[in-house]
Amino acid sequence: MSVVAKTLKYSEHGEPQDVLQLVEQQLEGPKDKQRTGFECKLYNRQRFAGKYPVKPKFPAVAGNEFVGEVVCVGEQVKCLKPGEHVVPLASGLGSWTTHALYNEDQLLGVSKRVGLAEAATITVNPCTAYRMLKDFVQLAPGDTVIQNGANSAVGQAVHQLCRSWNINSVGIVRNRPEIADLKKMLQCLGASAVLTEEEMRTSDIFKTGKFKRPKLALNCVGGKSATEVSRHLDNRGVMVTYGGMSREPVTVATGPLIFKDIAFRGFWMTRWSKENYNSTERTQMFKELCLLMEQQQFVAPAHEMVPLAQFKEAAAAALNFKGFTGKKFILDMSR
């Protein structure tokens, strides 16, 4: 393989549309017998503010998630073959490029029956939802999970997984003019009930026994929202915080903390992936997620495919998008 790869790089932190530059470089390989060369199909997501715990060395290739197609492999590559679709097992590889060379153990082959958008977005949000539902509380069919930010990409993944596992999923969202349409959309994904923050404060869905009190709460907002959600936890329930969109701390209500003995935990997918890189748990997670995607029981969040040449417009649109769910703008490297 000898190609001119088009790559999005940046050399400073800042707004994506300001710091990203499209450059070309010659790519030869794979000369290393254990490396794999592939052509990128679709790429998704990147952080540029410099506040995320993982910081790149400049100049850096942007991008974290992707799905690509193998075009050639080294002689000692055993598990991947040309024509196969792959997604990254390692984080921070730098994925916004038309072609790349990676070690075999940095990639995971996925069936072509998995949709491109689903494959391009599988390694962060669906995995985050999967691990939070699996690792903190032992849930059984009929149990209840409650979450704020229920219209986020992780929130949508939680609803779909709960539906597959026969778990009740109660979602909390901010009120908005399109609330009826948003509730309908989330319920189609698998949400058992969707309430606004105001409705949640006066709801009796747990007191009346319509749903069991939640054993698990998932928080990506923080502040008052997290406090209100935690009040509904069952005895010895657990709240897992994986984001802080309000930029306010998680404040614990004294009563539930003392009398219900509720617990508060944090979760970061990147850390879990590093600590469980070659684990059977990780293999099983990807196997189950891919199967659900093949069976169309798990779909990608709202998204738009954008040609590589329009990366500046896509970056600006992603930051300024207005709607009742965040739309993902996925770079199509073939256009």
> What would the pLDDT profile of 292-312 be if each residue is shown by its tens digit?
999 999 999 988 888 888 988
Q: What is the pLDDT along the chain (335 residues), one digit of tens a residue?
A: 578 889 899 888 888 888 889 999 887 766 665 566 656 666 664 444 444 555 678 888 888 899 999 988 888 888 899 999 999 998 888 888 888 888 899 999 999 999 999 999 999 999 999 999 999 999 999 999 999 999 999 999 999 999 999 999 999 999 999 999 999 999 999 999 999 999 999 999 999 999 999 999 999 999 999 999 999 999 999 999 999 999 999 998 899 999 999 999 999 999 999 999 999 999 999 999 999 999 999 999 988 888 888 988 888 887 776 666 667 888 888 77
What's the pTM value of the predicted model, to 2 decimals?
Answer: 0.91
Look at residue 190 and tell me if it is in a domain. Answer: yes
Q: Give the pLDDT of residue 142.
A: 97
* H/E segment holding residue 39: strand 35-44
Same domain, yes or no, for 24 and 88?
yes
CATH number at residue 113: 3.90.180.10
52 catalytic, yes or no? Answer: yes
Strands 2-10 and 60-61, how do they pair? antiparallel
Beta strand pairing status for 238-241 and 263-266? Answer: parallel
User: Is 209 inside any structural domain?
Assistant: yes
Q: Which of 204, 202, 186 is nearest to 194 (CA)?
A: 186
Judge whether 162 and 145 are in contact, CB under 8 Å: yes
Q: Does residue 38 lie within any of the structural domains?
A: yes
Same domain? 184 vs 208: yes
Asked if 15 and 139 sit in the same domain, the reply is no
Summarize pLDDT for 166-191 with one digit per residue, the tens: 999 999 999 999 999 999 999 999 99
- Among 230, 252, 270, the domain-final residue is 270
> What's the CATH code of the domain at 215?
3.40.50.720
Regarding whether 9 and 33 lie in a shared domain, the answer is yes
SS3 44: strand
The answer to whether residues 24 and 57 belong to one domain is yes
CA separation for the pair 263, 274 (Å, rounded): 25
Do residues 269 and 54 touch, judged by C-beta distance below 8 A?
no
- Residue 118 structure tokens: 């689903």
Last residue of a domain, which of 230, 249, 270? 270
Selecting among 43, 52, 102, 130, the annotated active-site residue is 52
Beta strands in 131-262 (DSSP E): 144-148, 168-173, 193-196, 216-219, 222, 238-241, 248-250
Residue 287 falls inside a structural domain: no
Residue 232 sits in the same domain as residue 176 = yes
Which residue is it, tokens 């730098």?
A: 94
| Contact status, residue 243 vs residue 226, Cβ threshold 8 Å | no
290 to 66, 149, 294: CA distances (angstroms): 15, 24, 6
Strands 65-73 and 85-88: antiparallel
In a domain, 323, yes or no: yes
Q: Is residue 285 part of a domain?
A: no
Residues constituting the chain:
335
Q: What is the DSSP letter of 61?
A: E
The total number of structural domains that make up the chain: 2
Q: What is the pLDDT of residue 59?
A: 86
Domain region containing 305? 2-121+300-332
